[in-house]
A = this chain, B = another copy of it.
Amino acid sequence: MDVLPTNSAQNPLFQKIEKIRRRQPKVRDTHITLAHGSGGKAMRDLIDDIFVQSFDNPILSQLEDQASFNLANLMQQGDRLAFTTDSYVVDPLFFPGSDIGELAINGTINDLAVSGAKPLYLTCSVILEEGLPIETLRCVVTSMKAAANQAGIQIVTGDTKVVHRGAADKLFINTAGIGIIPPGIEISAHKIQPGDAIIINGELGNHGAAILIARGELALDTNIESDCQPLHGLVETILNVCPEVHAMRDATRGGLATVLNEFALSSDVGIRLYEQSIPVREEVKGVCELLGLDPLYLANEGKLVVVVPKQKAEAVLAAMKSHPSGKDAAIIGEAIPSPSGVVLLKTIFNAERIVDMLVGDQLPRIC
């Protein structure tokens, strides 16, 4: 038969075709199987039912292998494009105050925001372990969607891989993001000058402590919650009063100590911190004392380290305090000409010690 008689209900091929047409993209399985990563029908249904319907936007719905944007429209928002990526492997997936889905959105938003960029579009690539409950995936994706909505960004393209049982731990997420940097903003870890003020937007270590407690290995009962939050609103507030911000970074893995060591090395300056000015919750201090940890190295997921010229410090601090994400902001230190590449802490007993880069591992899989 050369021409297929598509209008004949008696034709078995036609019946098959009608069956294909009536398919609804609906995941009926209760758990992820290898078929969900095969590229075939099960994968398409998973993507349609869970990702496309949740993230719901016209770019993603095209289901092309890439999203595309008009460059002229992007240029109306600024003159430079920022581009970043992060993988999220936090264990457990859900923890007090947040979960891996919200983290995967806010973490990448923050890596864009610290360049001064307005975050616009994110990708979502997941690696799923065979056997993961579909309901778990739905919860994570719902959380991603809520975080994306809150931050005003869109998830425009993605990828789904499934590995066999035991080849991954439940669920890993990668998000990449692009954003636009407004004209005149040049923030870099290389631009810090001696005399610059170091400002933080709030309490350190809540995320790391929350994860540690959520693992349940310690019989601790606290109300510490992750500080996971998007920081681009706060960054915009800061840039409004101080477009000449020298350096800015979110203190995630490795904590404040790591960011400041990176700053000191990149800008060839020293940094002196004042312990008494650094905001840390009493509960977090307690957890740290119990476990021999240092809050300066604990992970955060909503803490911004801002370095500004000294004469702008008070104006920036006031602006930060006016924003919900910066109400506990504090000036915690200053850049000094020497010893270059080194971070020093002036303790509450007025002694001085080196705050080195983290050697070894304080706490694995916190982001």
Contacts and interface: CB of A to CB of B under 8 A. Distances in A.
Chain multiplicity (copies): 2
Given A65-B114, A87-B127, A16 B354 contact: yes
A38 B362 contact: yes
A92 interface: no
B339 A123 contact: no
A123 B83 contact: yes
A85 B158 contact: yes
Contacts of A115: 64-66, 68
A285 B216 CA distance: 53
A172 interface: yes
Residue among A126, A178, A190 having the largest count of chain B Cβ atoms under 10 Å: A178
Contacts of A260: none
Interface in A325-344: 338-339, 341-342, 344
Given A125-B86, A358-B38, A360-B42, A65 B249 contact: yes
B86 A34 contact: no
A121 B111 CA distance: 17
Contacts of A111: 65-66
Interface residues of A, number: 107
Contact of A71 (B71, B164, B262, B354): B71
A72 interface: yes
A357 interface: yes
A2 to B, nearest CB: 8
Nearest to A185: B68
Contact of A253 (B6, B38, B86): B38
Residue among A39, A74, A114 having the largest count of chain B Cβ atoms under 10 Å: A39
B89 A80 contact: no
A310 interface: no
Interface of A: 1, 4, 6, 13-14, 16-17, 20-21, 33-35, 37-44, 62-72, 74-75, 78-89, 91, 111-112, 114-115, 117, 121, 123-127, 156-159, 161-164, 166-169, 172, 174, 176, 178, 180-181, 188-190, 249-250, 252-255, 258, 262, 266, 297, 299, 338-339, 341-342, 344, 352, 354, 356-365, 367
Given A40-B357, A66-B111, A85-B176, 8 more contacts: A4-B352, A41-B358, A62-B188, A68-B115, A74-B81, A81-B81, A87-B174, A163-B169
Which 7 A-B residue pairs are closest in the complex by CB-CB distance? A39-B254, A40-B358, A39-B253, A176-B176, A66-B84, A167-B169, A85-B123
22 contacts: A35-B359, A35-B361, A37-B361, A38-B254, A38-B360, A38-B362, A40-B359, A40-B361, A41-B357, A42-B360, A42-B361, A63-B262, A64-B189, A65-B114, A65-B249, A67-B84, A68-B115, A71-B75, A71-B78, A81-B81, A127-B127, A174-B174
